[in-house]
Amino acid sequence: MNSFTDAALPATDSTATTKEAPDLDAQLAKFTGTVGNVRVDNAKMSMTGVDVHYGDAQAIHNVDLDLGKNEVMAMIGPSGCGKSTFLRCLNRMNDTIESCKVAGSLTLDGEDIYERNQDVVLLRARVGIVFQKPNPFPKSIYDNVAYGPRIHGLAASKSELDDIVEQSLKRASLWSEVADRLDNPGTGLSGGQQQRLCIARTIAVSPEVILMDEPCSALDPIATAKIEELIDELGKNYTIAIVTHSMQQAARVSDRTAYFHLGRLVEVGVTNDIFTNPTHQLTENYITGRFG
């Protein structure tokens, strides 16, 4: 048990790195397959045997997981364990990374999303993503939010588009801060505001599945609470996968929780069970703060 605490410390001296290698092996030795039920009855997305390689390095090892309809799935795990990588597989954003190779079966409503004749444009309109790093377009706040509806032709008129922009910004609880300066550049906002702008931009398209990669990492508790409210509300009609480093957040917003470790899906379960009664030792170590 003590060895994990050591590994968790940042490598301030060289001795720590040499100690780490056997620890990784020790941790992997404890992994024998995902604990808990990865499948649900009414799956929106269903992943089976997903392997992801960056060049020669494998980032995701044989992961099976379902995202249920109108379910909020939290993905937690130590930094570098592959949460973002897995999330980006779900709408094929990894296609943009040349060295990245995805194998396995991933389906949306029963259709394989990596199939040859799968239209990625349509897929990404259905499966939206909020990236880990806020990346607003260097355009006006209005244009940032309006871009998705514009390219998909979701608004018939200017007033309808105005409406979508306003609603999206309101739901991302950014409206009150930017209502009077919609023409200012989105890149001129603060880090947290940019994060909410990116959320507004994604939900403006009303995708069926929303992938959120640490959407609250730069937000204060009040803004965080508002985003969590938004996730709660969206979760009634949409499928949401959210990556977070905050246990409390995962516990508050999600229906189920998946714990990733070194590219493996260690444990999946109903959120309450995971946090009150984790089965796997790695999960327990992580959520009790002995690792990560």
Partner 1 sequence: MSETTEIVRASLAKRYARERRFRLLGLASVMASAAFLVLLLGNILTKAWPAFTTTYVKIDVPLTPEVLRLPDAPDSEAIASARYGRAVKQAMRDLFPDVSSRSEKRALYQTVSAQAEFTVKDAVIANPELIGTTHSLWVLADDDLDTYRKSKSLQAVPEEDRRFKDFQVTWLEELSAQNRIKTSFNWVFFERGDSREPELAGIRGALAGSFYTLIVTLALSFPIGVAAAIYLESFAPRNRLTDLIEVNINNLAAVPSIVFGLLGVAVFINFLHLPRSAPLVGGVVLSLMTLPTIIIASRAAIKSVPPSIADAALGLGASRMQAVMHHVLPLAMPGILTGTIIGMAQALGETAPLLMIGMVAFIVDVPTGITDPATVLPVQVYLWSDSPERAFTERTSAAIVVLLVFLILMNAFAVYLRKRFERSW
Ligand X SMILES: Nc1ncnc2c1ncn2[C@@H]1O[C@H](COP(=O)(O)OP(=O)(O)OP(=O)(O)O)[C@@H](O)[C@H]1O
Interacting residues with Mg ion (CB under 5 A): 84, 132
Residue 212 sits in the site that holds partner 1 (CB under 8 A): no
124 binds partner 1 (CB under 8 A): yes
Contacts of 12 (CB under 8 A, 6+ apart): none
Instruction: Please provide the distance, in angstroms rounded to a whole number, between the alpha carbons at the two ends of the chain.
Output: 14
Does 165 interact with partner 1 (rule: CB under 8 A)?
Answer: no
Of 197-256, binders to ligand X (CB under 6 A) are none
Torsion 20-87-251-271 (CA) sign: negative
Paired tokens of 216:
């609250």
CB of 244 to ligand X, least distance (A): 9
Q: Is 137 in the site for partner 1 (CB under 8 A)?
A: yes
Instruction: Give the max Cα distance, the chain.
Output: 64
CB of residue 129 vs ligand X: minimum separation in angstroms?
Answer: 13
Q: Whole-angstrom Cα distance, residue 21 to residue 12?
A: 16
CA 86 from centre of chain: 8
Nearer to partner 1, 188 or 289 (CB): 188
Radius of gyration of the chain (CA): 20
The two structure tokens encoding residue 10: 């940042």
Which 31-90 positions form the footprint of ligand X (CB under 6 A)?
A: 54, 59, 77, 79-85
Tell me which residue of 24, 10, 103 sits closest to 261, measured CA to CA: 24
Q: Minimum Å distance from CB 32 to partner 1?
A: 35
From residue 76 to residue 115, the character string flagging contacts with partner 1 as x (rule: CB under 8 A) and all else as - is ---------------x-x--x-x-----------------
User: Which of Mg ion, ligand X, partner 1, none binds 185 (CB below 5-8 Å, type-dependent)?
Assistant: partner 1
Strand, helix or coil for residue 243: strand
Structure tokens at 194: 């940019």
Q: How far is the CB of 69 from ligand X (least distance, A)?
A: 25
Q: Between 21 and 156, whose beta carbon lies closer to ligand X? A: 21
Least Cβ distance, residue 285 to ligand X (angstroms): 17
CA distance 275 to 96: 35
**# residues contacting ligand X (CB under 6 A):** 13
> How many residues in the shown chain lie near partner 1 by CB under 8 A?
27
Minimum CB distance to Mg ion, residue 254 (Å)? 17
Residues ≥6 apart with Cβ < 8 Å to 131: 198, 213
Site for partner 1 contains 128 (CB under 8 A): yes
User: How far from the centroid of its chain's Cα atoms is residue 196's Cα?
Assistant: 15
CA distance 194 to 175: 12
Residues that bind ligand X (CB under 6 A): 54, 59, 77, 79-85, 97, 99, 132
Residues that bind partner 1 (CB under 8 A): 91, 93, 96, 98, 121-122, 124-125, 128-129, 131, 133, 135-139, 147-148, 151-152, 185, 187, 198, 201-202, 205
